[in-house]
């Protein structure tokens, strides 16, 4: 049984109770049995994090960074093993799982380096014999709640900057990928974190996550998950005066202009639409194609999607793994039915796959709807599965309006060879991230990550200044007067 990690020890939940983490490619395989944390355990974890905070915040930041550096090295050494575990636990194909581990490695090293930066400013005073500076200070105890689609990368996006900034942490990973999460915590422990600095509690979002997010003992919350949950948690944090970063849903789109390199655009749409079986907040679930290339694009896109091989992601021949759970599978099927009823044309996919390698898992064929009206529910709501809507547009202006016409604003992309069109798209697309001649996925860890509108609320993730460091630190401004007399700003002139 995999336990909770509280105050430097692996412990069973006080109320008992366990849950299983299952391989979605083969539901007969139990990847791990987890001990569920109840309210008492969350209380203890928050208490331990609070107690550990004073010493941790006073440890020189470069020393904190060295611990992260060691964790990064351990992740690197164990990359293959962790990638395979991830594929077994949530299904993404091995190449992508290794990329996920790499993202955690990158973030560990990047934030380890921040230990030697974390810079503020020194600014001249308007008065003699007085100096002024701004310094970054940690916010305190952080609650971190992470999803299942990036089992190591997203926890690392939150844990590494939180720790290097001098915060202590209570981490609640998705119950669907709790085994991967426990490995990350184990590695950080082995890398030398003092007790109580990082605590791990297992359980469902509704119980453990909700309780942690509204706990009076935390000073900040970083959450990645659905918009409905994120906005609810953000409202509570605002009420309690806590810092908050919520990364939520997306309805990302790729624009394909008539002058685009079509082969490249098709590859980008396949990667964006069906990578991680469409289960990314950055997935390209809409492709908006200009009239003149609509049909040729669609023909190639459908052909490429139907050639994708479904199966267990551990096999290097497999392109698309399962979706994560039965509940997700039902939800995605529900949307496929909605798309049909709305009158969109189902061109490929649309069904579960239960043959051969797929017999024991949650597999859905890569699905493309064409002739989708931008107002249809399949073009407005996040499906989080391998379902792409193709929409026609007359020109760039209409394409941009379609892309901007949802409640979300995480990622958009444009394929064009025309520098002016690219510039207009960069200016007018209202998403937090815009790609040119690249798909909607592939954000790099050293830039701020996040969206506008219902996709993101509060501070951005990842990145340094302008991103995660702004979430996990607050500014303190220090004026030091060494004149030995009372000096009055604004008045002594």
Tell me whether residue 193 or residue 284 sits nearer to ligand UN1 (CB atom): 284
**What is the rounded CA–CA span in Å between residue 38 and residue 221?**
19
Contact between 462 and ligand UN1 per CB under 6 A: no
Which helix (DSSP H) or strand (DSSP E) does residue 161 occupy? Answer: helix 153-164
The one among 149, 167, 175, 422 contacting ligand UN1 by CB under 6 A: 149
Using the contact rule CB under 6 A, the part of the chain among 44-52, 56-64, 138-146, 437-445 near ligand UN1 is: 437-445
Smallest distance, ligand UN1 to C-beta of residue 28, A? 28
Q: Do 223 and 213 touch, CB atoms closer than 8 A?
A: yes
Residues in Cβ contact with 273 at an 8 Å cutoff, skipping those fewer than 6 apart: 283, 284, 285, 287, 305, 366, 368, 386, 388
Using the contact rule CB under 6 A, the part of the chain among 43-51, 256-264, 387-395, 440-448 near ligand UN1 is: 440-448
CA distances from 361 to 73, 280, 476 (A): 34, 19, 52
Annotated catalytic, 132? no
Site map 90..129 versus ligand UN1, x via CB under 6 A: -------------x--------------------------
Q: Do 42 and 50 touch, CB atoms closer than 8 A?
A: no
The one among 17, 113, 217, 442 contacting ligand UN1 by CB under 6 A: 442
Q: At what angle do helices 153-164 and 61-77 cross, to 10 degrees?
A: 160
Size of the site for ligand UN1 (CB under 6 A): 9
User: Would you say the C-alpha torsion 383, 385, 387, 391 has a positive or negative sign?
Assistant: positive
Tell me whether residue 118 or residue 281 sits nearer to ligand UN1 (CB atom): 281
**What is the rounded CA–CA span in Å between residue 472 and residue 243?**
8
Determine the number of helices (DSSP H) and then strands (DSSP E) in the chain.
Answer: 15, 22
The one among 187, 443, 468, 469 contacting ligand UN1 by CB under 6 A: 443
Name the strands in the sheet holding 473-481, side by side, starting at the edge strand that comes first in the sequence: 121-124, 130-138, 473-481
Smallest distance, ligand UN1 to C-beta of residue 176, A? 14
Catalytic one of 114, 247, 258, 382:
247
Annotated catalytic, 96? no
Q: Do 194 and 52 touch, CB atoms closer than 8 A?
A: yes
Smallest distance, ligand UN1 to C-beta of residue 477, A? 34
Site for ligand UN1, residues 261 to 280, rule: CB under 6 A:
280
Contact between 163 and ligand UN1 per CB under 6 A: no
Structure tokens given for 6: 């509280």
Q: Where on the chain is the footprint of ligand UN1 (CB under 6 A)?
A: 103, 149-150, 280-282, 441-443
């Amino acid at each position: 049984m995999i336990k909770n990690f509280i105050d430097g020890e692996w412990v069973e939940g006080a109320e008992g109770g366990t849950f299983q983490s299952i391989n979605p490619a083969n539901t007969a395989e139990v990847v791990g049995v987890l001990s569920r944390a109840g309210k008492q355990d969350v209380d203890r974890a928050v208490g331990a994090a609070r107690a550990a905070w004073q010493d941790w915040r006073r440890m020189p930041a470069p020393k904190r960074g060295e611990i992260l550096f060691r964790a990064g090295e351990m992740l690197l050494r164990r990359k293959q093993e962790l990638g395979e575990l991830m594929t077994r636990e949530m299904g993404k194909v091995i190449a992508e799982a290794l990329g996920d581990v790499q993202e955690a490695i990158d973030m560990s090293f990047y934030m380890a380096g921040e230990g030697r930066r974390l810079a503020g400013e020194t600014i001249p005073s308007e008065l003699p014999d007085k100096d002024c500076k701004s310094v970054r200070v940690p916010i305190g105890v952080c609650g971190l709640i992470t999803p299942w689609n990036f089992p190591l990368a997203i926890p690392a996006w939150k844990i590494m900057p939180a720790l290097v900034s001098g915060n202590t942490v209570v981490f609640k990973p998705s119950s669907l990928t709790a085994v991967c999460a426990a490995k990350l915590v184990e590695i950080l422990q082995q890398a030398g974190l003092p007790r109580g600095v990082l605590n791990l509690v297992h359980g469902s979002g509704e119980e453990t996550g909700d309780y942690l997010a509204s706990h009076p003992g935390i000073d900040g919350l970083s959450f990645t998950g659905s918009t409905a949950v994120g906005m609810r948690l953000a409202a509570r944090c605002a009420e309690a005066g806590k810092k908050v970063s919520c990364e939520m849903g997306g309805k990302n789109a790729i624009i394909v202009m008539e002058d685009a390199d079509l082969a490249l655009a098709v590859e980008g749409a396949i990667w964006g639409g069906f990578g991680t079986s469409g289960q990314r907040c950055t997935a390209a679930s809409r492709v908006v194609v200009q009239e003149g290339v609509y049909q040729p694009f669609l023909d190639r896109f459908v052909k490429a999607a139907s050639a994708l091989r479904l199966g267990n992601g551990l096999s290097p021949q497999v392109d698309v793994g399962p979706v994560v759970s039965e509940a997700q599978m039902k939800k995605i099927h529900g949307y496929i039915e909605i798309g049909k009823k709305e009158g969109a044309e189902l061109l490929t996919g649309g069904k579960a796959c239960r043959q051969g390698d797929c017999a024991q898992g949650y597999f859905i064929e890569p699905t493309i709807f064409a002739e989708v009206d931008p107002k249809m529910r399949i073009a407005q709501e996040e499906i989080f599965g391998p379902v792409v809507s193709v929409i026609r547009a007359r020109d760039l202006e209409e394409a941009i309006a379609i892309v901007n016409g949802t409640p979300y604003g995480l990622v958009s992309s444009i394929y064009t060879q025309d520098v002016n069109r690219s510039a207009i798209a960069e200016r007018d697309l209202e998403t937090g991230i815009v790609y040119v001649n690249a798909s909607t996925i592939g954000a790099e860890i050293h830039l701020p990550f996040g969206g506008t509108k219902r996709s993101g609320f509060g501070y951005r993730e990842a990145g340094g200044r302008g991103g995660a460091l702004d979430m996990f630190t607050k500014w303190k401004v220090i004026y030091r007067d060494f004149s030995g007399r009372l000096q009055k700003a604004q008045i002594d002139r």
